Amino acid sequence: MDLQRIKNKFQSLFGEGGALYTAPGRINLIGEHTDYNGGFVLPGAIDKAMYCMIKPNGTTDTVKAYALDLEEMDEFQLDDVPIKQWAKYIFGVCLEMIKRGAKIQGFDVVFAGDVPLGAGMSSSAALESCFGFALNDMYNLGFDRFELAKIGQATEHNYVGVKCGIMDQFASCFGKEGSLIRLDCRSLEYEYVPFDPKGYRLVLINTCVEHELASSAYNKRRESCENAASYIRKYHPEVEFLRDATLDMLKEVANEVSAEDYIRAEFVIEEIQRLLDACQALKEGDYETVGKKMYETHIGLSRKYEVSCPELDFLNDVARQCGVTGSRVMGGGFGGCTINLVKDELHDGFIKRATESYEQKFKIKPKVYDVIIKDGARKL
Ligand code: GLA
């Protein structure tokens, strides 16, 4: 990222001063759509991030924000929801902080980033964490990283309309170079899992498609899970989330829940177990098993959770044909990237075949990113 560009723009718009902050996007090795079910996830922060340069502007509540990548300026007040979509993220973070007792005054900011949008790499969480971290530091608000992650998540819920889980914001706030984070999304207990798969590489292939209505479909998945959990709870009061349920418990309510809710819940219960199995395999350095679990996740996401799309399924098939160890759709779905665990010696051949055949079939050039696991939100 060319930080000089941000600095120059900041100076030309707002003059001297300002501090620079950054927060990254994330990958997730396995454990998809488990976070809002109180389950486990295994994300890591990456070397693609959002950056902002910011300073107080002396007003009580006027925000002047410049989105460098879009070359768009917006000015809004902290008591009125802005019109521009990107400004809602900034506004939401401010308001969620104010709700929690923070005193936030007007500020000037320029921001930019290199997390691809709509690629399932959590550009929006990176933006929320970047602003959360920056405002917290600049105004000395005293929020810890847990609270910053929750502020980002609440911004999605209340100002963007996506009822997301905590994974993305957590990874962006807590990321650590070279490590994945095994996070219990109910208790928020977490453990860093060093990730250095010798002989393998982790690579993302971006379909460069983003299917419409992804956010309403996402919220619908969440509702299905909550419905299924509520039926199970009637017989097993200890079941707070699907995370607490077993497949047998789900079977008991098969005649009560809708077929759709049933199959969604089945995926989630299986996915939580897959993640635990993959973590065990990781500990033993058994990447072949990790990869097998990734393929199983893809099948589940595609056929049971139905958040894949022809483009993602195609890339998954190519990975399988090329002998790639593990491959699956990553993140919320409906487009974005596949994440692939591939042996060093197969890497180049796989990338060549996947990109060429994808382009031939869909007439879209996919993008490829080698994953590098980096630190979370910080001041630069
Ligand atoms: C999106 C959401 C996350 C998580 C994933 C799916 O990235 O923001 O909270 O639910 O989808 O695992």
Active site residue 168: yes
Its domain, for residue 70, covers 3-196
If asked whether residues 261 and 221 sit together in one domain, one would say yes
Helices (H), the chain: 3-14, 85-99, 123-138, 145-155, 167-174, 214-235, 247-252, 259-283, 287-299, 310-321, 344-362
Give the mean pLDDT of the chain. 97
Contact 27, 330 (CB under 8 A): yes
Give a yes or no: residue 376 inside a domain. Answer: no
Q: Work out the average pLDDT over 215-221.
A: 93
Contact 224, 38 (CB under 8 A): no
If asked whether residues 214 and 169 sit together in one domain, one would say no
Query: What pLDDT is stored for residue 224 in this prediction?
Result: 98
Q: How confident is the model at residue 118 (pLDDT cuts 50, 70, 90)?
A: confident
If asked whether residues 169 and 236 sit together in one domain, one would say no
**Residue that is last in its domain, among 196, 220, 249:** 196
Report the SS3 class of residue 317.
helix
Count of domains for the chain: 2
Report the 10 Å Cβ neighbour count for 230.
13
Q: Work out the average pLDDT over 152-163.
A: 96
Distance CA 23, CA 169 (A): 9
Q: Work out the average pLDDT over 255-275.
A: 98
Comparing CA positions, the residue from 142, 54, 52 lying closest to residue 105 is 54
**Token digits of residue 7:** 């600095």
Ligand 1 mean position to 42 CA, how many Å?
Answer: 12
The residue whose two tokens read 């989330």 is: 241
If asked whether residues 214 and 93 sit together in one domain, one would say no
Q: How far is CA 330 from CA 120, 121, 123, 127, in A?
A: 6, 8, 14, 19
Give a yes or no: residue 313 inside a domain. Answer: yes
212 pLDDT higher than 90: no
Distance CA 70, CA 364 (A): 22
If asked whether residues 189 and 333 sit together in one domain, one would say no
We report the CATH number of the domain holding residue 107 as: 3.30.230.10
DSSP 261: H
If asked whether residues 39 and 176 sit together in one domain, one would say yes
Q: Work out the average pLDDT over 121-144.
A: 97
If asked whether residues 41 and 110 sit together in one domain, one would say yes
295 pLDDT higher than 90: yes
If asked whether residues 170 and 260 sit together in one domain, one would say no
10 pLDDT higher than 70: yes
**Residue that is last in its domain, among 196, 219, 252:** 196
Give a yes or no: residue 135 inside a domain. Answer: yes
Ligand 1 mean position to 188 CA, how many Å?
Answer: 15
If asked whether residues 183 and 208 sit together in one domain, one would say no
Give a yes or no: residue 378 inside a domain. Answer: no
Query: What pLDDT is stored for residue 6 in this prediction?
Result: 98
Query: What pLDDT is stored for residue 303 in this prediction?
Result: 98
338 pLDDT higher than 70: yes
The residue whose two tokens read 């000395």 is: 140
Contact 126, 72 (CB under 8 A): no
Query: What pLDDT is stored for residue 211 in this prediction?
Result: 82
Contact 358, 326 (CB under 8 A): no
Distance CA 355, CA 333 (A): 19
Give a yes or no: residue 179 inside a domain. Answer: yes
**Token digits of residue 109:** 């900011």
If asked whether residues 222 and 149 sit together in one domain, one would say no
Ligand 1 mean position to 163 CA, how many Å?
Answer: 9
> Virtual CA dihedral for 36, 41, 46, 48, nearest 10 degrees?
-20
> What is the best residue among 26, 153, 164 to mutate for testing ligand 1's pocket, by most ligand atoms within 8 Å of CB?
164
Q: Ligand 1 site: residues with CB under 6 angstroms?
A: 32-33, 35-36, 122, 164-165, 167-168, 331-332
Distance CA 248, CA 258 (A): 16
Q: Work out the average pLDDT over 281-286.
A: 95
For the chain, what percent of residues have pLDDT higher than 70? Answer: 99
Comparing CA positions, the residue from 307, 315, 361, 334 lying closest to residue 209 is 334
If asked whether residues 50 and 95 sit together in one domain, one would say yes
- Segment 344-379, tens digit of pLDDT: 999 999 999 999 999 999 999 999 999 999 999 999
Contact 186, 342 (CB under 8 A): no
Contact 191, 181 (CB under 8 A): yes
Ligand 1 mean position to 108 CA, how many Å?
Answer: 30
Q: Work out the average pLDDT over 233-242.
A: 98
Contact 117, 123 (CB under 8 A): yes
Contact 56, 106 (CB under 8 A): yes
Q: Work out the average pLDDT over 94-105.
A: 97
For the chain, what percent of residues have pLDDT higher than 90? Answer: 97
Atom of ligand 1 nearest to the CA of 41: 12
Atom of ligand 1 nearest to the CA of 165: 9
We report the CATH number of the domain holding residue 281 as: 3.30.70.890
Query: What pLDDT is stored for residue 215 in this prediction?
Result: 85
**Phi, psi at 367, each rounded to 5°:** -115, 150
Give a yes or no: residue 379 inside a domain. Answer: no
If asked whether residues 22 and 156 sit together in one domain, one would say yes
**Token digits of residue 93:** 């973070």
**Token digits of residue 9:** 């723009």
Q: Work out the average pLDDT over 217-226.
A: 97
Comparing CA positions, the residue from 84, 90, 66 lying closest to residue 18 is 66
Query: What pLDDT is stored for residue 213 in this prediction?
Result: 64
Q: Work out the average pLDDT over 283-307.
A: 97
Q: From the candidates 35, 168, 244, 313, which is the catalytic residue? A: 168
Contacts of 361 (CB under 8 A, 6+ apart): 314
Contact 289, 29 (CB under 8 A): no
Comparing CA positions, the residue from 281, 285, 313 lying closest to residue 299 is 313
Give a yes or no: residue 357 inside a domain. Answer: yes
**Residue that is last in its domain, among 196, 229, 256:** 196
